[in-house]
Amino acid sequence: MTAALREHARVILDAAVAAADPRLAVVRALQRDGGVLRIGGEREIDLADIDRVLVIGAGKAVIGMARGALEVLGDVVAEGTVTTKDGYAAELPTMEVWEAAHPVPDTRGLAGAAAALRLARSAGRRDLVLCLLSGGASALWPAPVAGVALSELREATERLLRSGARIGEVNAVRKHLSRIGGGWLAHAAVPARVVTLAISDVVGGSLSAIGSGPTVPDATTYEDALDVLLRYEVQVPPAVRAHLQAGDAGEVPETPKEFDAAFHHASAHVIAGNADALHAAVAEAERLGYRARIVADDLEGEARSVGEQLGLLARNTRAERPDRPVAFLLGGETTVTVQGRGRGGRNQELALSAAIDLEGDDGVLVASMGTDGTDGPTDAAGGFADGGTVARGRARGLDARESLRRNDSHTFLHAAGDLIVTGPTGTNVNDVVLVLVDPVP
């Protein structure tokens, strides 16, 4: 029974990832009718008024997005530069491709960000800058403000990511340490037209949060950034704190706000997100015979707490003796407050926590994975949990609760044979969590 559930889970999760194909999302969003370009069915641009189309972008899905843009606009794209995560790159005609580290930035990302800013600044009034964004862009495009070194930005980023802060809170800090995030890329492209297509990896799909919002107004302030550091007790390098304090005191400019001239000729559109993945997963689950529904598309919270709740949901649902298999789908992004020295990620931690609650129960399974194919600094996308996970790990000499305490979910799930390993998927629309329940015979 468990083997069948696991195979069904893989098929359902594969369908979720396939529904967020970045190339197809861009092709759907950009419709070209002769010399007229329609964007998202809302805006039209006469290409006769455009001298050059410049493509800039960053993120884990940017290669597929760029392929879609070239499919629609290839003959009018003059130049482009995109940055993606290590292992995600591919050659693109007329475009410069950078690979860089994620989630903690490196010097290659610094070079990719500099290239994007140079190209944006070269744009004239009759140019169109097409910006392609997806999850991961914040780290892949580091452009630290004057007075803050890349090493100091790296240290601040690492500590924020380990603090348990939500991604929007992390980005509030990163925007105020960047020359590209928080609207500054649009500012660099003035007076050109700027069109942004974004694949969302954030709960709610806020354009200001995707990639730290480089081409849209920023509603956060230096005060907000300092409040995040205070609330989560994040210790950052002195130069980082000094810059944020100077901004709060009005000594350095705030990020561009809603009425800034940078946005007079700019538009931004979310073209794919977690909802696409969830609906595709529901359809596939129903095809396999499950009664399926989405129970949350705004999943947040501490990963281990969510895992415990989902384990309880699975057991309680089976206790109700449903007349057919049941599938629950959830989407979003949990967090991990790192206290131990183990290896893992939020999806693996969620799975391990669920496994503890499911111990000994047959006919139930929880699976959690990042749609980008990565989960924390590991080779896994996430993990499975069923009634035998804890016992399989124990047979290899590991204690599930101790592993969870040390944030060492990867080691435990690897030993139990419960890792989900997909490799890079080429997209990124948050996490998908699946709960499968088989009826009691």
Residue-range domain boundaries for the chain: 2-13+275-437, 21-143+178-220+255-272
pLDDT digits (tens, 9 = 90+) for 295-352: 999 999 999 999 999 999 999 999 999 999 999 999 999 999 989 999 999 999 999 9
CA distance 42 to 123: 24
Q: In the structure encoding, which two tokens stand for residue 193, read together?
A: 């037209």
CA distance 67 to 80: 12
The 10 Å Cβ neighbour count of residue 221 is 17
* Res 74: pLDDT: 87
Residue 349 identity: E
CA distance 81 to 114: 10
* Res 392: pLDDT: 98
CATH superfamily of 21-143+178-220+255-272: Glycerate kinase, MOFRL-like N-terminal domain (3.40.50.10180)
Q: In the structure encoding, which two tokens stand for residue 429, read together?
A: 């629309």
* Res 43: pLDDT: 78
* Res 391: pLDDT: 98
pTM of the prediction? 0.92
The CATH architecture that domain 2-13+275-437 belongs to is 3-Layer(aba) Sandwich (3.40)
Question: Does the pLDDT at position 6 exceed 70?
Answer: yes
Which H or E run contains 383?
Answer: strand 382-386
Question: Does the pLDDT at position 428 exceed 90?
Answer: yes
DSSP 253: P
Name the average pLDDT for the chain: 95
> How far is C-alpha 60 from the geometric centre of its chain's CA atoms?
8
Question: Does the pLDDT at position 412 exceed 90?
Answer: yes
Residue 171, Ramachandran bin (φ over 0: left; ψ between -120 and 50: alpha; else beta): alpha
CB-based contact 352:405 (threshold 8 Å): no
CA distance 29 to 25: 6
* Res 417: pLDDT: 97
* Res 363: pLDDT: 93
Strands 291-299 and 36-39: unpaired
Residue 429's DSSP bridge partners are: none
pLDDT classification of 3: cutoffs 50, 70, 90: confident
CB-based contact 214:183 (threshold 8 Å): yes
The 10 Å Cβ neighbour count of residue 291 is 14
pLDDT digits (tens, 9 = 90+) for 163-211: 989 888 999 999 999 999 999 999 999 999 999 999 999 888 899 999 9
Fold agreement (2-13+275-437, 21-143+178-220+255-272): no
pLDDT digits (tens, 9 = 90+) for 78-130: 999 999 999 999 999 999 999 999 988 999 999 999 999 999 999 999 999 99
Q: ∠ CA 212-374-130 to the nearest 5 degrees?
A: 40
pLDDT classification of 1: cutoffs 50, 70, 90: low
Question: Does the pLDDT at position 2 exceed 80?
Answer: no
CB-based contact 17:277 (threshold 8 Å): yes
